[in-house]
Amino acid sequence: MLFDAEFWVAVAFVVFCGIAWKMGLFDQIIGGLDKRGARVRKELDEARRLREEAEAVLADYKRRRSEAEREAAEIVANARAEAEAAAAEGHARLNEFVARRTKAAETKIAQAEAQAAADVRAAAAEAAVRVSETILREKVSGDAAQDLVRRSLGEVRTRLRA
């Protein structure tokens, strides 16, 4: 067993560990590992801080996006309401305009009808006066007859025009 390779490897390992311990190599290895652990911990803390910042920025952008969507929805709703109000107002104005024009047309028609009726009555009165005058001239003679015809014609004219 003294000449086995494993035995000599074990002896060399123990001697190496003893020399390394005497020279302070273990302290340097532990110090290096501690420094590396501290650096890794610092990097993890920095990554955690950056992640929290990114989450805060993401939450802010999500909040802004929802606000912008809400504002856009309000703008669309307001625009739609204004358009509907404008359409209703335009419709009301159009109805009012049509009603005014219809009333004006009806008034003009009524005036034209009244004027036509007056013209027909005047023409009928004139024709009746002429016919009466012709008949009376043929049948009545003398100054008294002429006087009677004139008075009668005047009365007929005034009654027919009234």
Instruction: Give me the tens of pLDDT residue by residue for the chain, a chain 162 residues long.
Output: 567 888 889 889 999 888 888 888 888 888 889 999 999 999 999 999 999 999 999 999 999 999 999 999 999 999 999 999 999 999 999 999 999 999 999 999 999 988 988 888 877 777 777 777 777 666 666 666 667 667 777 777 776 665
Split into its structural domains, the chain has a count of 1
Task: Supply the range of the domain harboring residue 76.
Answer: 25-160
Domain membership of residue 17 (yes or no) is: no
Assigned domain for 112 exists: yes
Is residue 31, in this structure, part of any structural domain at all? yes
pTM of the predicted model over 0.85: no
Q: Does residue 88 fall inside a structural domain?
A: yes
Q: SS3 sequence, the chain? A: CCCCHHHHHHHHHHHHHHHHHHCCHHHHHHHHHHHHHHHHHHHHHHHHHHHHHHHHHHHHHHHHHHHHHHHHHHHHHHHHHHHHHHHHHHHHHHHHHHHHHHHHHHHHHHHHHHHHHHHHHHHHHHHHHHHHHHHHHHHCCCHHHHHHHHHHHHHHHHHHHC
In a domain? residue 7: no
123 falls within a domain = yes
- Is 6 within the bounds of a domain? no
121, part of any domain:
yes
